[in-house]
Structure 1
Amino acid sequence: MKPSAWKKGNTIGIVAPAGPVKQEELLRGLEIVESLGVTVKLGKHVYDKYGYLAGSDADRAADLNRMFQDDEVKGIICARGGYGSGRIADLVDYQLIKQKPKVLLGYSDITYLHTSIRQRTGLVTFHGPMVASDMGESDFAKLSYDLLQQFFTPTDVVYTSAISPLEAIVHGKAAGPLVGGNLSLLISTLGTPDEIDTAGKLLLLEDIEEPPYRVDSMLNQLKQAGKLDSANGIIIGDFRTSIPEDPENLLSYDQVFVDYLTELQKPVMKGFRIGHCNPNITVPLGTEATMDTEAKVLRVKAGVSA
C-alpha cells in the first residue's frame, strides 16, 4: 500500500514518537521542510519531555494517530529518534492507518514503527532524515535534501557507487521488498508481535555507537532467529562508533560482517550512506528492490503513488 504523493502547498505533520526535541534544532529543520513548498503542523506534544522520552506514551501515540486522522495532513515526518517508539507500538491505530495511508519519514528508533506499521497494515514507509536530528544540522547535505523530492513525484531510488563507494562482501543478484533499518531496533522486535519478517526480503542494516562486539552479538541473534538465512540479500548501511576499544581485543566492523554474512551464500553489499550519516539517503521500505553487486547498484521502486 503506497501513500499518495505530496503536492506543493500540502500540510505535513511533525511528531516526536521517541526522544525529546531541542527547540532550536527543530526550528532549523522546519525551515528545510517548508523550503520544499509545504506548510507544517506540529503535534500537540512535540516539545514535551518526560526524561528520555518526548512525553508520555499516550501523548506521543495520540500525536501520531491524530496526524493520520487529520485530512489536512498529507504526510508525517518524525522530529528525531532516540528511544521510545517501541513503547507506543500497541497504542498506534493501525486500522486508521489502513484507511488513511500517508508518507511516514524517519529512521533510527523509528525503525520499530516502520516495522510494526508495515507488517500490520502493508503501508510503505520511508527510512530517511528527520527534522531536528538531520535537517536541523547546519551541514544537512544537498543530496539528502534533493532526494526528498521523491515524495512529490513517484521516482525509483537508484543507488550506485557514484553516491558512495560500494563493495561486495558476497557477490550476486537478489530481489525482494526492502525492509529493516536500525539493527538494535530490529533486535528489539524479536519475540514480539512485530518481529521483523525477512523472508524473501532485502534486509537493510545500520547503526551508530554500537562497538563491533555489540554488532557481533546482534548479528548472532539475527542469525540464531533465522532472519539472515531467510533474507534474499543484505544491504549494509552506515556503522560507526566513537567508543574507544582495546585494539588488542578488537575486531573491525568489516571482520564481523565477513564472519556472519559470507557463509550466507547470498548477495551482501556494504558502503551505503543510509542511516546515521551525512548524506542520509531516503529509501522506501516495503517496495520491491533489486541489488546487483557486480554493477554495484541498488534500485528501490518508488514509494508513493501519483
Structure 2
Amino acid sequence: MLLPKKLKSGDTVGVVAPASPPNLSNLQCSLHFLHQLGLHVKIAPHVRSEYGYLAGTDSQRLEDLHTMFADSSISGIICAGGGYGTSRIARFIDYKLIKRNPKIFWGYSDITFLHTSIQQQTGLVTFHGPMLCSDVGKENFDPLSKSMFQQLFEPMVLTYSEAISPLNIISHGEACGEIVGGNLSLLVNSIGSAYEMDTRNKLLLIEDVGEEPYRIDSFLSQLKLAGKLDQAAGVIIGDFSKATPKNPEGSLTLEQVFNFYFSSLKKPVLSGFKIGHCLPHFAVPLGSLATLSSPSKTLKINPGVQ
C-alpha cells in the first residue's frame, strides 16, 4: 500500500479527462469549488478535445495522464468525468512513472478501470469520489459530498454509519481488509485481462448506474463464477441508481438479485451505502484498510493520504 502525500492550501491539482468528453460548462463551474479549497488548477491540454465518444484520441488522453503524474508542480489529479474509454489506454500506461511519482488520483465510474490497474501495478491508494463535471459543477452538489474532499488535506479515519443513510444487512459478520472495486460493469470488464481485480481477503465495493436487475444479475454471476465473491472478505454495496426494470412484472427486484448472490456468503455484506452515481456521494480511498461490521452497521476506513 502506497499512500500519496496530502494536499495543502496553495497546491496545484491537475484535471484530466481519460474517458468521454466532459461537460465544459459544468467543468468551469466546478473550478470555483476547487479554488474555495485553496487549490490552484491546471487543466490538461486535451481535456477539451473530442474524438467521437472519447475525450481525444487514446494517445492524447494517455499523454495528459502521464504529463500530470510526471509534473512535480502537480500535487493531485482529479478526473473531469467518466463515460467510456479508460480500458483502451490501461495497457499503455507507464506504471513505473506513477510509482515514482505517487500522488492523489480521484474519480469514479469509468475511472474504475484505472483505479484497478494503478492499484495492482503500483500499490497506490486512489480515491473513488465525486468528479468535476458529473457532480461538483452541478447546482445540487451537496454539503456531505463537498466535505469528502477534506480527507485529501489531512489523514483521517472515515466512518460510514446509518447517520448518513439506512443500511441493510444481507449477510452477517465483521471483516477487515483493503477496499477494492468501484463500478460493477467495469470490474467485470477487467476479468481475463492483465488488470483483473483481486478480491482475496479484501472488501469488495460495487456500484453502478442505469443497469436493470437482469444486467446486474449477469455481472454478479460472472464475478461469482470467477471466484471474486467467495474470495472477498466482505462486500460493500453502493448505490445502484436508475435500475428500475422496464417490465417490473417480468423482472426480479434488485433486492432479490443481491440476496441470491450474497445472503449465503457467511461474511459481512451490507447495502445502502451512498457511494457511486448519487448525491450525497461518500468518497472512499481504494486500497486503504477498512473494517465492515454488520453488528454495528458501520464501515470504518483508514486514511488515504500521509
TM bucket (normalised to shorter chain) is: over 0.9
CA shift digits 1:58-98 (9 cap, x unpaired): 10011011000000000000000000011110121100111
**Is the Cα contact below 8 Å between 2:70 and 2:97 reproduced in 1?**
yes
Mapped partners of 1:80, 1:252: distance in 2: 29
Report the 3-state secondary structure (helix = DSSP H, G, I; strand = E; otherwise coil) of the residue aligned with 1:199. Answer: coil
For 1:135, the equivalent position in structure 2 comes to: 136
Stretches of structure 1 lacking an aligned partner (at least 5 in a row):
none
Does residue 183 in structure 1 map to residue 184 in structure 2?
yes
**Aligned counterparts of 1:264 and 1:292: Cα–Cα separation in 2:** 14
1:179-223 CA distance string (max 9 Å, x none) = 000000000000000000000000000000000000000000000
> For residue 302 of structure 1, what is the aligned residue in structure 2?
303
Asked if structure 2 preserves the Cα contact closer than 8 Å seen for 1:58 and 1:91, the reply is no
Residue aligning to 1:13: 14
Q: How big is each residue's C-alpha offset from its partner over 1:6-27, in whole Å with a ceiling of 9 and x where there is no partner? A: 0100000000000101210100
Alignment partner, residue 101 of structure 2? 100
**Separation in 2, partners of 1:8, 1:258:** 46
Matches within 5 A, 1:1-306: 1-241=2-242, 244-305=245-306
Separation (CA, whole Å) in 2 of partners of 1:22 and 1:303: 28
Provide the rounded CA distance (Å) in 1 between the counterparts of 2:3 and 2:104.
8
In 2, distance between residues paired with 1:22 and 1:224? Answer: 38
Looking at structure 2, the residues matched to 244 and 159 of structure 1 have their Cα atoms a distance apart, in angstroms, of 29
8 Å contact 2:209–2:240 — kept in the other structure?
Answer: yes
State whether residues 105 and 130 of structure 1, in contact with CA within 8 Å, keep that contact through their aligned partners in structure 2.
Answer: yes
- Identity, in percent, stands at 53
Letter in 2 for 1:122: G
Alignment partners' CA distance in 1, 2:288 and 2:256: 30
In the alignment, residue 20 of structure 2 is paired with which amino acid? G
Structure 2 contact 213–245 (Cα < 8 Å) conserved: no
Amino acid at match of 2:184: L
TM-score (norm 1): 0.98
- After TM superposition, which residue ranges in structure 1, 4 or more long, deviate above 3 angstroms? none
Query: Is the deviation greater in 266-275 or in 245-254?
Result: 245-254
Q: Per-residue deviation at 1:247?
A: 2.0
C-alpha RMSD of matched pairs (Å): 0.8
- The residue identity in structure 2 corresponding to 1:155 is M
Contiguous gaps of at least 5 residues in structure 2: none
2:263 is paired with a residue whose SS is helix
Number of residues of Structure 1 aligned to a counterpart in Structure 2 = 305
Tell me if the contact between 2:241 and 2:278 (Cα under 8 Å) persists in the aligned partners: no
User: Once the 2 structures are TM-superposed, how far is the Cα of residue 248 of structure 1 from its aligned partner?
Assistant: 1.8
Offset at residue 243 of structure 1 (A)? 5.7
